[in-house]
Amino acid sequence: MNRKYKDSGIEWIGKIPYNWIYGGLTKFVSSIIDYRGKTPEKVESGVFLVTAKNIKNGEIDYSISKEYVKKEDYKEIMRRGLPVIGDVLFTTEAPLGQVANVDDANIALAQRIIKFRGKKNVLNNYYLKYWISSSGFQYYLQTFATGSTAMGIKASKLSKLIVLLPPFNDQKEIVDFLNEKTFEIDSLIAAKKKLIALLEEQRQAIITEAVTKGLDPNVKMKDSGVEWIGEIPEHWNLLRIKYLGDAILGLTYSPSDVVSKNEGKLVLRSSNIRNGKIDYNDTVYVNCAVPPKLITKEHDILICSRNGSRELIGKCALIDRNSQDQTFGAFTTVFRSEINEFLFYIFQSQLFKSQIGSYLTSTINQLTISKLRNFPVAIPNDLERKKITNFLQKKALEFDSIIKNEKNAIDNLKEYRQSLIYEAVTGKIDVRDYKKEEALS
C-alpha cells in the first residue's frame, strides 16, 4: 500500500504516516498509578508480589524474585488501583524502563512500578508496551533519568514522555504483527539457547570423561576407591589436591585502598571469572601492600570460593600472561601447582561441580581452603597428562567457536527484533503490506 508521510519534527522518530499523531503520555491514558511508597510485609505464601525484577524482556517473569504478601493485606496494598489484564506495567528504576502487560489480575504490585491504562478506543495497551520497549523510546527515556547509584524517573516527568499514536485500528494491526514476528524470533533465540546448553553439557561430559578415564577406551581400569569418581585407569594415581600444589586465599582490602586504574594493582574477583576466562568488564584497583604470594602467576587457577550465589562457587579461570602480576580478592582462591593446565580441566569437570555443593558450609556459601586441599583427583603420568590437556584444549576451541557463532546469531536476532519493533511503532514499515502478502500467498 502507498502511504503518505510527514515530518514528525522529532529527531529520533523522523517521518511518520500522515494520519498518525503524537503527544504526551498522560494525554492518552485513562489512569496512571504509581505504587511507590511503603514496602509491604513479605510472607512465604499468599498473593504474588510483582517487583521491578520480575518485569523483563516485555513480560512478567514469575520465576524471578518470588515474593508474596498476605491475602488479608492485598486490598490495602492495592488501594490505589487493582490490576486488570492488559494494563501496562512500567519500572521506574532498578531497572528503569522495563515494561510488560498484566497477564494475571491476581497479583500485587511493588514499589518502583507504575501502571498505565490506555484510554478506551484511543490507546491500545499492547501497542503501548511495544512503544515503550522500542529502542527509540528507550534512548529518549534515558534523557529524563536521574540518580547516582540507580537511574530512575520522577513521577513529575511522566507527562513529558511522548507517545506516537496511530489510528486505533492500526494499533491493533501493529500489535498482531509484532506478536507474530517477535514470537518467531523468540522461538529461534530459545532454540539457539537450548543448543548452547546442550553444547555446554557435551563439553562437560567430554572433559569429565578425559580427566577420569583418559583417552584410551581399551585401557585396563581399577576402582578409585571414591564412589563419585568411579573407575580410573590402572596406572593413574589418586591424590589429594594438597599434595600437588598450594591453595591461597585472596587479599583483604578496605574501601579506602581502592584507587583509579593507573594508580594501583588490579584485584581479580569472582565477577572477573567468566566462562573459564578472565573478564575485565568489572575491575577494581587497590593501592596497598600485597604479599608476594598473592601476586598472580601465569597458569594459576583463580577460583570463586565465596559468593552470595551457591551456583557460582567453584567457577574458575586460568591466569594467562595478560592477568599475571596482579592480585586477587578475599572471596577468591588461587591454586598454584606445576600441573595446573591439567587440573584446570578437573575443576571444569562435572565431577568437581557436582561435589561443590557437599563442600559448602550450611551458614555461608564458601568453599574453604581445607575442603579444597582435600579434594581427591586422579592423575596420569606426564606424557598422558600432556596428551589429555592438548586434546581438551583443541576441543575447547571447537566448542568455543560454535558457541560464539550461536551467541552472535542470538545477538543479531535480538537486534533485528528491536529494529522491527521500532520500525513498526514509528510507521517505517507498513504492517498492512504484510497482511496483504499473507492473503495473496
Bridge partner residues of 259 (DSSP): 285
Q: Tell me which DSSP letter residue 319 carries.
A: -
Which whole-number Å values give the CA distances from 139 to 21, 45, 132, 133, in the listed order? 20, 38, 10, 10
**pLDDT per position in the chain (441 positions), as tens?**
678 999 999 999 999 999 999 999 999 999 999 988 778 899 999 999 999 999 999 999 999 989 999 999 999 999 999 999 999 999 999 899 999 999 999 999 998 999 999 999 999 999 999 999 999 999 999 999 988 677 899 888 888 899 999 999 999 999 999 999 999 999 999 999 999 999 999 999 999 999 999 999 999 999 999 998 999 999 999 999 999 999 999 999 999 999 998 899 999 999 999 989 999 999 999 999 999 999 999 999 999 998 877 788 899 999 999 999 999 999 999 999 999 999 999 999 988 888 876 656 556 678 889 989 999 999 999 999 999 999 999 999 999 999 999 999 999 999 999 999 999 999 999 998 776 555 544
Measure the CA–CA gap between 330 and 251, rounded to whole angstroms: 5
Q: Is the peptide bond before 255 cis (omega within 30 degrees of 0)?
A: no
Do the Cβ atoms of 313 and 332 come closer than 8 Å?
Answer: no
Of 363, 364, 346, the closest CA to residue 355 belongs to 346
Residues 303, 284: Cα–Cα separation, whole Å: 17
- How many CA atoms lie within 13 Å of 233's alpha carbon, on the beta-carbon side? 20
**Predicted local confidence at residue 440, as pLDDT:** 47
In order of their start, the domains of the chain are 21-165 (3.90.220.20), 237-379 (3.90.220.20)
Count the Cβ atoms, other than its own, within 10 Å of residue 286: 21
In 3D space, the residue among 159, 336, 326 whose CA is nearest the CA of residue 244 turns out to be 336
Kindly list the distances between the CA atom of residue 118 and the CA atoms of 28, 88, 98, 165, 416, in Å, as whole numbers in the listed order: 6, 8, 17, 11, 27
Burial profile 396-433: b = 16 or more Cβ within 10 angstroms, e = fewer? beebeeebeebeeebeebeeebbebbbbbbbbbbbbee
What count of other Cβ atoms lies within 10 Å of the Cβ of residue 175? 20
Contact yes or no for 169/176 (Cβ under 8 A): no
Grid coordinates representing 176 are 498482531
* Spatial separation of the C-alpha atoms in residues 400 and 406, rounded to whole Å: 10
Which SS3 state, helix, strand or coil, does residue 416 take? Answer: helix
Cβ-based neighbour number of residue 382 at 10 Å: 11
**Whether the Cβ atoms of residue 25 and residue 158 lie closer than 8 Å to each other:** yes
131 C-beta neighbours (distance < 10 Å), count:
28
Residue 127 has a pLDDT of 98
Quick one: 201 exposed, middle or buried, by C-beta within 10 A (0-12, 13-18, 19+)? exposed
Distance CA 324, CA 346 (A): 22
Distance separating alpha carbons of residues 440 and 307, to the nearest angstrom: 58
Helix axes 125-133, 168-213, angle to 10 degrees: 50
CA dist 221 and 314 (Å) reads: 29
Q: Sort residue 65 into left (φ over 0), alpha (ψ -120 to 50) or beta.
A: left
Residue in 328, 282, 261, 280 with CA at minimum distance from that of residue 301 = 328
Q: Is 206 left (phi over 0), alpha (psi -120 to 50) or beta?
A: alpha
